[in-house]
Structure 1
Amino acid sequence: MSRHQRSRSGPNPGPGTGSFAGPNPGSGPSPWLPDEPTETLLITGLEVLRGEVEHVAAASGGQLRTVADIREAAPFWDAAAVVLLGSDIRELPPRGRSPAVLVGLSGDGDGLWHLAAAIGAERVAVLPDAASWLAEYLSRSRTPEPGGLVLGLVGGCGGAGASTAAVWIAHAAARQGVRALLVDGDPWGGGLELALAAEETPGLRWPDLADARGTIDPRQLADSLPLAGGFPFLSWPGTKERHAGVDNGVVAGVLDAARRGYELVIVDIGRGREALRTFAWDCDRLIVVAPALLRAAVATARLLQDLPAVETVLVVRGKSGARLDADLIAKSVGLPLAGVMPDVRRAAAATELGRLLDTGRQRKVQRFAGMVLGFGAGAPG
């Protein structure tokens, strides 16, 4: 089984991993949670890294157990609230089931992300920059709150249609009565608000949140966001001016508040390396969108090597005259097929004209979005 096919079910997948179907996801005790885990387990032989994590653990008010290698960690792994893997650790134990965060230092560079993808870590924390995020993460792990699902969409190749699919899914979820939020994760994508014809709609955009620090109140975030098509959205501005991005800590804080404030958060991630690192690693599930073409299948298979080890499914975009069918594409990339995205005439033109929501009202689009939402609801949480 591919690491991208596995479910995140286990003793403590944390808030946000439950089904997004139904009016109150996460209500009531989750059956997979252990009996009040309180200890954080750190596995590293690096003294400098251990010192950094000790400061973070002290700030979060929890207990920290440190061991030097995987063998020493085995007796404590399953009982830990969170497992932190140092960047000197190159493997996971075969029975380790708790969520693992790979922690490293700012000097580790690109190798830290490659290692995280290779060993199946579910989050990455680069210290000391991510110290405040990690402290909050450790604190929440001891008293997990019900939360919604953060669902990321990424194109398996350029022009795959992930942004279109994200809008359609958000629109369909809102029509079903799900509290859904659409997030634009691509600072170089031109601004998702343009496809919604909502560039003049008042509300916060990403640059307005660039200086946000600490915990963000979910209600304040919800009250500050613009609306389109019956759902709120958070977009990059659809303007020609260059704008500075926001750092990983701000994104993590915003997505955490969104997870606590909405039943479903749909993130249009984009394909840039920085966007993948900033947004994909904060998602609970991923959908990869790919056309039914051989080159797209090859590009998608390569992309999977850079994605976090969370449950990942494939959506194939249908196209008239396609030589490969959806099942074959899914089998070739090693992902379960969640649905076939319909080929809608003039969809590109509708996007350019800000009328993408109009195409979402077509019956075949609604069937597709409903199928994707149903697939997520039926998958193991």
Structure 2
Amino acid sequence: MTQQTRTPEGRGPVVLAGGSQFVQDQVARACAAAGVAPHFAVDLAQALPLEPAVLLLGADQATGGLPGHRDVIVVGAADDETRAWAAAANVASSRVVILPQGAGWLAEHLGRRLNPAASGAVVGFLGAAGGAGVSTFAFWCARHAAGLGTSTLLVDGHPLGGGLDLALGIEERPGVRWGDLRDLRGTLNAEQLVAALPADGHLAVLSHAGHSEGAGPHPGHGMESAGAVLDAARGAFDLSVVDLGSAGSAAIQSLVPLCDQLVLLVPSRPRSAVAVTRILEAYSSLPTTVVLRGPVLDGLDAWLVADLAGRAGPLPYLPFVRGSSAAEAGGRMLDFPLPRRARKLVESVVAGLERAG
């Protein structure tokens, strides 16, 4: 049978680039079940101008070069599974759907992803440079949201960081860490995720373990399952805060596309201020809140850095918080009180996330 290709006019939420007639038909059925209209394009060159919220790639189209896309899924038939997984590695996609077996998961994912009322927000916190204090800031925002009664998940997004649970002082609490999810394939039930994680009130935490997570080196450290985990988190939590670490971290390449928006923390240092423009360009598809972190050095105040970033000034400003580093090192972050100015900034950022969500 000759492959039929349907090309839409205008942009759409779901676009399939390439794929056989069988794959197109299966995608159409999954989209119908999710209540969304799919668009079909011959190849990536035709698909990308449509600015899809979810980009589906036939295994023949997954050739790399897709920075900044918010949701990329490789789809393939059962007899092409090996090539589909290889293609997903090529585009840093953590999701592969094999059809027809995975059609139900795809329909469920699209329904959650494209119906904001039915899913929680996933927000990535990123530092413009190493040592920006982004882990601490992400925790403060997650703790504040949880304190308002918002069901919140704090996700440790850098596997070589030593384990975020150590900074919180909950490393001995039972519950799932990333390493326990290493072999996860397919879907993860939202209720099971909630029950499995260590929590403090409305705040749950998914951390890397501070000790070895298994025999022998394993570069993924469980984060190969990040797509399935954050899919489940959307159904389980009102807000998921992902600590991405610094912009130079390799781990963020698979996590940023899973986020709905970013918060970029910029230390008041010359190199960090200059890097802001490049970072914003690299992740231009995501709404981004830029926050300047004090203390202010070299005249790089909230107005000047805003000008460098092409933003209206002044930027939101997080002052230096005395004692926060010692609290993190001592595993006392859960109970560490914020001074008034820092607390007001955290409240403002969280309120902005709620409005955007």
Query: Which of the five TM-score ranges fits, normalised by the shorter chain?
Result: 0.7 to 0.9
Amino acid at match of 1:353: G
Secondary structure, aligned partner of 1:316: strand
- In the TM superposition, residue 122 of structure 1 has moved relative to its aligned partner by 2.4
Are 2:48 and 1:42 aligned? no
Unaligned runs of 5+ in 1: 1-9, 14-39, 44-48, 65-78
- In the TM superposition, residue 169 of structure 1 has moved relative to its aligned partner by 0.5
Secondary structure, aligned partner of 1:220: helix
TM-score by length of 1: 0.72
Match of 1:224 in 2: 196
Are 2:29 and 1:61 aligned? yes
Q: 1:254 aligns with which of 229, 233, 240?
A: 229
Indicate the percent of aligned positions where both proteins have the same amino acid. Answer: 34
Match of 1:124 in 2: 72
Q: Which stretch of structure 1 is more off in the superposition, 97-106 or 262-271?
A: 97-106
The structure, 1 or 2, with the larger RCO (C-alpha pairs under 8 Å, 6+ apart) is 1
1:85–1:100 CA contact under 8 A, matched in 2: no
For 1:280 and 1:296, the matched residues in 2 are separated by 19
1:113-168 Cα offsets, whole Å, 9 max, x none, are 3xx33xxx322335612322885345543574611110110111111111011110
Q: Which stretch of structure 1 is more off in the superposition, 340-349 or 189-198?
A: 340-349
1:160–1:290 CA contact under 8 A, matched in 2: yes
For 1:229 and 1:338, the matched residues in 2 are separated by 32
Are 2:278 and 1:302 aligned? yes
Match of 1:332 in 2: 308
1:81–1:98 CA contact under 8 A, matched in 2: no
For 2:148 and 2:332, the matched residues in 1 are separated by 21
Secondary structure, aligned partner of 1:324: coil
Secondary structure, aligned partner of 1:274: coil
1:227–1:233 CA contact under 8 A, matched in 2: yes
1:86–1:104 CA contact under 8 A, matched in 2: no
For 1:244 and 1:321, the matched residues in 2 are separated by 37
Secondary structure, aligned partner of 2:176: coil
Amino acid at match of 1:103: L
Are 2:341 and 1:372 aligned? no
Secondary structure, aligned partner of 2:231: helix
Q: Which stretch of structure 1 is more off in the superposition, 213-222 or 125-134?
A: 125-134
1:269–1:276 CA contact under 8 A, matched in 2: yes
For 1:183 and 1:169, the matched residues in 2 are separated by 12
For 1:83 and 1:329, the matched residues in 2 are separated by 41
- In the TM superposition, residue 265 of structure 1 has moved relative to its aligned partner by 0.4
Unaligned runs of 5+ in 2: 1-9, 76-83, 86-94
RMSD of Structure 2 on Structure 1 (CA) = 3.3
Match of 1:32 in 2: none
Amino acid at match of 1:323: G
- In the TM superposition, residue 60 of structure 1 has moved relative to its aligned partner by 7.7
1:82–1:141 CA contact under 8 A, matched in 2: no
Q: 1:87 to 1:346 in 2, by over 3 A?
A: farther
Q: 1:63 to 1:352 in 2, by over 3 A?
A: closer
Match of 1:25 in 2: none
Secondary structure, aligned partner of 1:348: helix
For 1:240 and 1:273, the matched residues in 2 are separated by 20
Amino acid at match of 1:171: R
Match of 1:341 in 2: 318
Secondary structure, aligned partner of 1:216: coil
Match of 2:65 in 1: 112
1:85–1:101 CA contact under 8 A, matched in 2: no
Match of 1:28 in 2: none
- In the TM superposition, residue 41 of structure 1 has moved relative to its aligned partner by 4.0
Are 2:328 and 1:351 aligned? yes
For 2:309 and 2:58, the matched residues in 1 are separated by 30
Q: 1:104 to 1:156 in 2, by over 3 A?
A: farther
Q: Which stretch of structure 1 is more off in the superposition, 141-150 or 79-88?
A: 79-88
1:290-333 Cα offsets, whole Å, 9 max, x none, are 11222111223222343361111101102054521113212312
Secondary structure, aligned partner of 2:158: coil
TM-score by length of 2: 0.76
Amino acid at match of 2:37: A
Q: 1:63 to 1:365 in 2, by over 3 A?
A: closer
Match of 2:4 in 1: none
Secondary structure, aligned partner of 1:238: coil
1:238-288 Cα offsets, whole Å, 9 max, x none, are 126655425766111100111111111000012355322211110011111
